Amino acid sequence: MGVPAPLPRAAAACLWLLLLASSGSAQSTTSADGPKPQITSMLPANMSVGVSPAVNSSVVKFDRDMSTLGASLVFAGRTLPNTTAEASWSDPRTLVLPLHLQENRTYAIGLNGACRECKGVRAAEGAPLQPAVWTFSTWAAGEPAVSPGNQRDSAIEVLRLVLAEYAYRDRLGVDWEARWRAHRFQMEGAGTGVAFAEAAAGFLGAGRDGHVFLDVSGDVVASHVPVVDRNVNASLLRGIVADWREPNRHVATGRLGTSVRYVAVRSWAGGEEDYYPVSEALMSSWRWRGVIFDVRESAGGNVSRALEVAGHFVDRRVPYASHRRVDASAEGGFGPTEQLWMEPREEHAKYDAGVVVLMGPANVGAAESFILMMGAGGATLVGQTSYGSLGNPVPHALPNGVVLHLPSRQELLPNGEVLEGRGVDPDVAVEWDPSGADDPVLRAAVERLT
Ligand SMILES: *[C@@H]1O[C@H](CO)[C@@H](O)[C@H](O)[C@H]1NC(C)=O
Ligand SMILES: *[C@@H]1O[C@H](CO)[C@@H](O)[C@H](O)[C@H]1NC(C)=O
Ligand SMILES: *[C@@H]1O[C@H](CO)[C@@H](O)[C@H](O)[C@H]1NC(C)=O
Ligand SMILES: *[C@@H]1O[C@H](CO)[C@@H](O)[C@H](O)[C@H]1NC(C)=O
Ligand SMILES: *[C@@H]1O[C@H](CO)[C@@H](O)[C@H](O)[C@H]1NC(C)=O
Ligand SMILES: *[C@@H]1O[C@H](CO)[C@@H](O)[C@H](O)[C@H]1NC(C)=O
């Protein structure tokens, strides 16, 4: 029903260029009755960066019916948008401002101003909008452009994927649809893949899931960066553990006294051969009373490495955990629960002395799989509860080329509880010494083995 309000060119007044509606009736209305109208959304979004210069209008929505007789606009900022066409009301709650944008500019748009005549944006009942200013920036030449249509479809696809494919959709009780409505303009107005990914990450961050992230041609945009405590001090360990060796950055070995072997896996991200020193350190188990297997520093990586290392400690096939995949067509939203197994290492005899695993709050992902395997194999777990984040993110390509990674299955503890946000408990809980001067976890493990 648009009632176009033509906006004649006006002279610049100080910093501000006022473009006043020609229909004077709105400004001259004296009945400022009723509640003040509120802006419910604006596109391009306030403070958004990477807006495409191809965006050809600004769309402002209000919470109530507005007077469609005119609008007073205030354009400010470093550059004035080049408006050649007329602002118009596409319906009584939606104001459309035509824009001509250039690359690599910051724009500001204002509705209403401080002056008496600058109150043309008002509710149908009469109350004027409180002066509102918002800013946005366009992308610079050279950044990859994406079409606004793609952004819209991609924003819709992000919501669809969260609702249909995300295993932890309901974990924190997030109202994803309401949240999406609040974030969609940022996604839709993004002029680059990275700007889109950042907007989508803002939407997805409510899931507080380190395994939800976006990939823009190899640049990863995280939706959540977990802050983890550590119950280990690597430099302190080097002073305590005798014969300290670091054959590579994934593994360290040594001994405690003459009777306890020390093996640390500090990362699960290496190749198979990076863990051969672990196999070597576990040979001649008859020489030792036991082994302290320290994984406190380790986080994610390749679960194949965890299976290969844990295979030294069993002589038969052992179930260690389970998982279930999202299946929107299944009752309860998940497919059948599948048991996960570990296998003995055929070329190595089972490690045959006492085994204590040191664990803690930095353990996520493959490290948690390893802890579950070792627990199932009969090792004693010492330290603090693990972080509780074990995702196998599945990539989903969006129409704009950005790839969204979402965990598609829930990992379950042996008792059937969901691991996410819960973690694996140790058998022997030991608090960390925050002064860092001592390693009480290591000490508790040595006491158990000697
Ligand atoms: C603005 O862009 C859209 C596509 O995003 C196009 O359909 C529309 O015709 C354009 N409007 C003008 C006035 O150029
Ligand atoms: C402003 O818009 C007009 C009409 O589309 C165009 O010809 C002109 O080049 C634009 N000026 C700037 C500075 O962008
Ligand atoms: C836009 O964001 C800035 C900075 O947060 C704020 O001062 C301004 O009021 C916002 N404008 C609108 C219309 O919300
Ligand atoms: C974008 O604008 C800034 C500030 O004017 C300038 O320093 C920068 O070189 C521009 N970038 C590109 C890619 O044009
Ligand atoms: C994990 O390791 C296995 C076996 O070595 C390999 O086939 C697989 O590609 C690795 N996965 C990743 C994500 O690197
Ligand atoms: C770790 O141990 C070293 C060596 O004992 C010590 O100097 C350092 O302060 C400790 N770091 C922390 C964070 O406790």
Q: What is the predicted pLDDT for the residue at 97?
A: 82
CB 363 within 8 A of CB 231: no
Report how many helices (DSSP H) and strands (DSSP E) the chain contains, helices first. Answer: 9, 24
350 versus 211: the higher-pLDDT residue is 211
pLDDT at 115 over 90: no
Q: How far apart (Å, rounded) are the C-alpha atoms in residues 266 and 360?
A: 12
Q: What is the predicted pLDDT for the residue at 307?
A: 97
Tell me the percentage of the chain whose pLDDT exceeds 90.
56
268 in the same domain as 195: no
Tell how far the Cα of 109 is from the centroid of ligand 1, in angstroms: 20
Q: Does ligand 4 come within 6 angstroms of the Cβ of 140?
A: yes
Q: Please, which pLDDT band fits residue 156 given cuts at 50, 70 and 90?
A: very high
122's tokens: 């008002």
For the segment 328-344, the average pLDDT, to the nearest whole number, is 94
For 88-149, the DSSP string reads EEEETTEEEEE----TT-EEEEEES-SSTT----BBTTBPBPPPEEEEEEEPPTTSPP--HH
Which atom of ligand 4 has the smallest separation from the CA of 103?
14
Which atom of ligand 5 has the smallest separation from the CA of 272?
5
Q: Does ligand 6 come within 6 angstroms of the Cβ of 236?
A: yes
402's tokens: 């950005």
Q: How far apart (Å, rounded) are the C-alpha atoms in residues 226 and 204?
A: 14
Q: How far apart (Å, rounded) are the C-alpha atoms in residues 100 and 102?
A: 7
314 in the same domain as 194: no
For the segment 285-301, the average pLDDT, to the nearest whole number, is 91
> In this structure, is residue 271 part of a structural domain?
yes
120 versus 208: the higher-pLDDT residue is 208
253 in the same domain as 369: yes
Tell how far the Cα of 103 is from the centroid of ligand 4, in angstroms: 9
Q: What's the maximum distance between 2 C-alpha atoms anywhere in the chain?
A: 97
338 in the same domain as 206: no
> In this structure, is residue 444 part of a structural domain?
yes
Q: Which of 236, 241, 433 to mutate to test the pocket of ligand 6 (most atoms within 8 A of CB)?
A: 236
Phi, psi of 160 (to 5 degrees): -60, -45
User: Which ligand is located closest to the Cα atom of residue 365?
Assistant: 5
Q: How far apart (Å, rounded) are the C-alpha atoms in residues 233 and 245?
A: 16
Residue-number span of the structural domain to which 49 is assigned: 12-138
> In this structure, is residue 416 part of a structural domain?
no
For the segment 326-335, the average pLDDT, to the nearest whole number, is 92
For ligand 3, atom 10, the nearest C-alpha belongs to 134
Q: Please, which pLDDT band fits residue 292 given cuts at 50, 70 and 90?
A: very high
For the segment 213-227, the average pLDDT, to the nearest whole number, is 88
Last residue of a domain, one of 199, 222, 245: 222
Most confident of the ranges 26-30, 123-127, 130-134, 240-244 = 240-244
Q: Does ligand 6 come within 6 angstroms of the Cβ of 30?
A: no
Tell how far the Cα of 255 is from the centroid of ligand 5, in angstroms: 31
For ligand 1, atom 8, the nearest C-alpha belongs to 56
SS3 368: helix
User: Which ligand is located closest to the Cα atom of residue 435?
Assistant: 6
For ligand 2, atom 3, the nearest C-alpha belongs to 84
**Tens of pLDDT along 28-68?**
344 457 899 999 888 887 877 777 787 888 889 999 999 88
CB 258 within 8 A of CB 288: no
Q: How far apart (Å, rounded) are the C-alpha atoms in residues 98 and 55?
A: 9
**Tens of pLDDT along 234-266?**
999 999 999 999 999 999 999 999 999 999 999
Q: Does ligand 1 come within 6 angstroms of the Cβ of 147?
A: no
For ligand 5, atom 3, the nearest C-alpha belongs to 304
Cα–Cα–Cα angle for 298, 301, 304, rounded to 5 degrees: 115
For ligand 6, atom 11, the nearest C-alpha belongs to 436
**Tens of pLDDT along 159-202?**
999 999 999 999 999 999 999 999 998 999 888 888 999 999 99
Please give the mean pLDDT across all residues of the chain: 85
CA distances from 212 to 166, 268, 271 (A): 9, 20, 24
Closest CA to 370 of 361, 357, 356, 355: 357
For the segment 436-443, the average pLDDT, to the nearest whole number, is 92
Tell how far the Cα of 299 is from the centroid of ligand 6, in angstroms: 21
> In this structure, is residue 394 part of a structural domain?
no
Closest CA to 243 of 287, 296, 300, 192: 287
Tell how far the Cα of 134 is from the centroid of ligand 1, in angstroms: 22
Most confident of the ranges 35-39, 291-295, 351-355 = 291-295
Q: Which of 49, 104, 192 to mutate to test the pocket of ligand 4 (most atoms within 8 A of CB)?
A: 104
Q: Please, which pLDDT band fits residue 425 given cuts at 50, 70 and 90?
A: very high
Q: What is the predicted pLDDT for the residue at 372?
A: 98
304 in the same domain as 330: yes
CATH number at residue 128: 2.60.40.3780
Last residue of a domain, one of 138, 168, 203: 138
Tell how far the Cα of 194 is from the centroid of ligand 4, in angstroms: 18
Last residue of a domain, one of 167, 193, 222: 222
Instruction: Note if the pTM is more than 0.85.
Output: no
Q: Please, which pLDDT band fits residue 24 given cuts at 50, 70 and 90?
A: very low
Q: What is the predicted pLDDT for the residue at 113?
A: 73
Most confident of the ranges 352-361, 366-375, 431-440 = 366-375
Report the pocket of ligand 3 as residue ranges, CB < 6 Å: 39, 46-47, 132-134
16 versus 307: the higher-pLDDT residue is 307
115 versus 398: the higher-pLDDT residue is 398
Q: How far apart (Å, rounded) are the C-alpha atoms in residues 197 and 207?
A: 16
Q: Please, which pLDDT band fits residue 13 given cuts at 50, 70 and 90?
A: very low
Q: What is the predicted pLDDT for the residue at 335?
A: 96
Tell how far the Cα of 91 is from the centroid of ligand 2, in angstroms: 27
Q: Which of 48, 74, 133 to mutate to test the pocket of ligand 3 (most atoms within 8 A of CB)?
A: 133
Strands 106-111 and 132-138: antiparallel
Split into its structural domains, the chain has a count of 3
> In this structure, is residue 396 part of a structural domain?
no
363 in the same domain as 284: yes
For ligand 4, atom 6, the nearest C-alpha belongs to 104
CATH number at residue 348: 3.90.226.10
Most confident of the ranges 148-162, 165-179, 345-359 = 165-179
For the segment 268-296, the average pLDDT, to the nearest whole number, is 92
Q: Please, which pLDDT band fits residue 83 given cuts at 50, 70 and 90?
A: low
For the segment 198-225, the average pLDDT, to the nearest whole number, is 92
> In this structure, is residue 178 part of a structural domain?
yes
Q: Please, which pLDDT band fits residue 7 given cuts at 50, 70 and 90?
A: very low
pLDDT at 315 over 60: yes
362 in the same domain as 274: yes
> In this structure, is residue 18 part of a structural domain?
yes
